[in-house]
Structure 1
Amino acid sequence: MNTDHNFINLTTENLSDEHVCCIIRSKKFHPGIEAKRQWLEDRLEEGHVFRKLDVKGTVFIEYAPLETAWVPVTGNNYYYLYCLWVAGPFKGKGYARSLMEYCLADAKEKGKSGICMLGSNKQKAWLSDQNFAKKFGFKVVDTTDNGYELLALSLDGTTPQFTKQAKSQRIKNKELTIYYDMQCPYVYQTIEMIRQYCETNTIPLSLIQVDTLQKAKDLPCVFNNFGVFYKGTFETVNLLDITSLKRILNK
């Protein structure tokens, strides 16, 4: 496996001292980051991996055994890749390749059947670059009616799949409904923004925190840490800003 000393894997011992890449803060308290740390602390003991470059920047990969990954995907002995993100001045230096190669080497070393990730027939801003993943051999192995895709790099010929519930993409509740967990530091501030906007504009809102593995596996939509429904129909896994929120509400 890649033993490049410029990279660090988060552990329960160093988690409180290391930044988590997405939102860089040194001393200032940030609710989203603290929620992420708490979420990670519970996951690391399950084999969850968060590996990052030892710099003050966004260069990391995050993946976990599919059996304990908080996504409505089923499969035997796979890794689920939540996020591979290299931003700003660190792009184009081979870091993303190093991180993906580490994940692949880890999967082979542990005898995994493969690695899978969420994608879409049109790249989503809040999902990892699927074209990059396809260069490593990831292929579409399952799809939903509205264009989301499950990509997998199979090492033994088996493939994972979305759960039946995830493909339903419909709920009885007609008001704006958002399923979310605290894995992404940006989720906290996004939820607060949406809550305030809906209160100010008297828009009915249901916020459902996914706080257990079982809730994640039973979700009625594809999910990476966020899922939006409106008028009973699934809209997106993208975190919303005011513009995209208004676009959904105007449908």
Structure 2
Amino acid sequence: MSAKYVNLTAENIANEHLCCIIRTRTLHPGIENKRKWLMERINEGHVFRKLDEKATVFIEYAPLETAWVPIVGNNYYYVYCLWVLGNYKGQGHSRALMEYCLADAKEKGKSGICMLGSKKQKAWLSDQSFAKRFGFEVVDTTSNGYELLALSLDGTMPKFAPSAQKEEIENKDLTIYYDMQCPYIHQNIESIQQFCEKNDIPISLIQVNTLEQAKELPCVFNNYAVFYNGHFETVNLLDANYLKRILKK
């Protein structure tokens, strides 16, 4: 396959397409929030590699030590997203992007690569069946079915932080933890907030602003996490129908 890819850098990030399918001719708050968040991560070794076109074809990963997730391990990469959509599917882009990540890990002497999965595939998580075909295996689990997948290069394994296994908080209101890593989060939070105001549903929105805060979250997290009645529900971004199902529990 002959395709040109580009990595975002401090020099090109202001002008590069960020691969989401939000279509707008004007500045979009979610996209610009993502751009700002990425700009602050690049010097930490965060990698955003994309097809050099206006397309949803990219991989995003970072050193586990600076990845905003409650996962611990030494010298791993953490894959936030591997996404290929539309007419670009079936052209080998997913394999090419994952092979780049693996080659990068080997070149830098990393112990391996890991990512968040689930016993039942979640809409907002990368395709774990593809990852398993690539050699990833389940190395840790939570009580409600989330899994940590890892491809080890030296026999060591990462694991969920102890806090991620709690899956309980004191607040009984609908509670959403989120950061600005995904361009869709801004509009999703606005939409859910409007729905809750209209229907008199108490809600607590907690923005995760630091690495330390992310590493100590009381649940698994890829940029978004939902609690209700004090119990962890999902990492999927909510829509009105999904929220109604949660509120009926």
Flag whether TM exceeds 0.5 (same fold).
yes
Q: Name the count of aligned residue pairs.
A: 249
Contact 1:19 1:25 (C-alpha < 8 Å) held by counterparts: no
Deviation string for 1:116-166 (max 9, x for gaps)?
A: 000000100100000100111100000000000000000000000001110
Letter in 2 for 1:247: R
Name structure 1 gaps, 5 residues minimum: none
Residue 65, structure 1, aligned to residue 69, structure 2: no
Alpha-carbon distance in 1 for matches of 2:207, 2:164: 17
Choose which of 76, 81, 88 in structure 1 pairs with 2:74.
76
Residue 35, structure 1, aligned to residue 39, structure 2: no
Q: Tell me what 1:52 maps to.
A: 50
Q: Tell me what 2:20 maps to.
A: 22
Alpha-carbon distance in 2 for matches of 1:25, 1:64: 27
Cα deviation, residue 70, structure 1:
0.1
Question: Are residues 242 and 107 of structure 1, via their aligned partners in 2, closer, same or farther at CA, if it must alter by over 3 Å?
Answer: same
Q: Tell me what 2:5 maps to.
A: 7
Q: Tell me what 1:206 maps to.
A: 204
Alpha-carbon distance in 2 for matches of 1:116, 1:5: 26
Contact 1:23 1:185 (C-alpha < 8 Å) held by counterparts: no
Q: Tell me what 2:234 maps to.
A: 236
Question: Are residues 191 and 24 of structure 1, via their aligned partners in 2, closer, same or farther at CA, if it must alter by over 3 Å?
Answer: closer
Q: Tell me what 1:107 maps to.
A: 105
Alpha-carbon distance in 1 for matches of 2:82, 2:214: 21
Cα deviation, residue 182, structure 1:
0.2
Cα deviation, residue 238, structure 1:
0.2
Q: TM-score, normalised by structure 1?
A: 0.97
Q: Tell me what 1:149 maps to.
A: 147
Deviation string for 1:179-223 (max 9, x for gaps)?
A: 000000000000000100011111100000001000000000000
Letter in 1 for 2:247: L
Alpha-carbon distance in 2 for matches of 1:206, 1:26: 29
Letter in 2 for 1:91: K
Alpha-carbon distance in 2 for matches of 1:74, 1:96: 26
Alpha-carbon distance in 1 for matches of 2:214, 2:182: 15
Question: Are residues 210 and 115 of structure 1, via their aligned partners in 2, closer, same or farther at CA, if it must alter by over 3 Å?
Answer: same
Name structure 2 gaps, 5 residues minimum: none
Cα deviation, residue 27, structure 1:
3.9
Which structure 2 residues correspond to residues 119-198 of structure 1 after superposition, within 5 A? 119-198=117-196
Q: Secondary structure at the match of 2:94?
A: helix
Letter in 2 for 1:158: T
Cα deviation, residue 25, structure 1:
4.5
Alpha-carbon distance in 2 for matches of 1:52, 1:25: 17
Cα deviation, residue 23, structure 1:
3.2
Cα deviation, residue 57, structure 1:
1.0
Alpha-carbon distance in 1 for matches of 2:112, 2:180: 26
Letter in 1 for 2:164: A
Identity of aligned residues (%): 72
Question: Are residues 39 and 198 of structure 1, via their aligned partners in 2, closer, same or farther at CA, if it must alter by over 3 Å?
Answer: same
Q: TM-score, normalised by structure 2?
A: 0.98
Contact 1:24 1:57 (C-alpha < 8 Å) held by counterparts: no
Residue 246, structure 1, aligned to residue 244, structure 2: yes
Letter in 2 for 1:161: K
Question: Are residues 26 and 94 of structure 1, via their aligned partners in 2, closer, same or farther at CA, if it must alter by over 3 Å?
Answer: same
